[in-house]
Amino acid sequence: MKFLPLFLLGLLGCATYKSYNQTTTGKVILRGGIYQKESWDDELILKRMSWYHGMSLYYDALFYKADSASPFANWFSSSEKEFFTKCEKLLVTVTYSADPSKISHVNFREQMKLNGYDDVVLNTFSSYLKSHPSANDWRMGNYKVMGFCKRAPSRLSTTKLAINFPSFKHLEINL
């Protein structure tokens, strides 16, 4: 009789465990930055989309809509800053793939292309972002930083970005 409550508690725990594909959205905030002799307290806000199978993270994507007026624009090299004038929107993505056989960076690039974005190289910004003190808290050393440029004016007047991986719920975020 003593084991019945323990057994029921264990059974309840098993019943609440999610063993299916699920998605979440949220945000990650990095506070402050430094460039040469300049420092600032502004926030770099990254919108987040995550894809899980049960409790296992399959893919994680963070999005920053780059702003030339932000002090974080100092982190872009002079050649990277040219994207501010060449692109309707410049996005920085920080992505992680736990198992590329499930969801890969190639799958992600294809989804970005469907949203009208072409990938661009942002090596300098990437090195500054990965050197931020909070980057270790988010394990960004395991993440890949990519840039995406929407070159042509949007045919659709939407600020939403939609990502749809097979067997997962369709996700959208406002940029």
* 14: Cβ contacts below 8 Å, ≥ 6 apart: none
Residue 134 pLDDT: 81
Q: Which long-range contacts (CB under 8 A, 24 or more apart) does 113-116 make?
A: 114/162, 115/150, 115/161, 115/162, 115/163, 116/150, 116/152, 116/154, 116/155
* All structural domains of the chain with their residue ranges: 20-174
CA distances for 149 relative to 6, 51, 66, 82, 85, angstroms: 55, 24, 10, 11, 10
Residue 10 pLDDT: 60
Residue 4 pLDDT: 63
Residue 175 token pair:
């940029």
pLDDT along the chain (175 residues), means of 10: 61 56 93 94 95 93 96 97 94 95 95 95 95 80 93 68 93 90
Three-state DSSP at 112 gives helix
Residue 149 pLDDT: 96
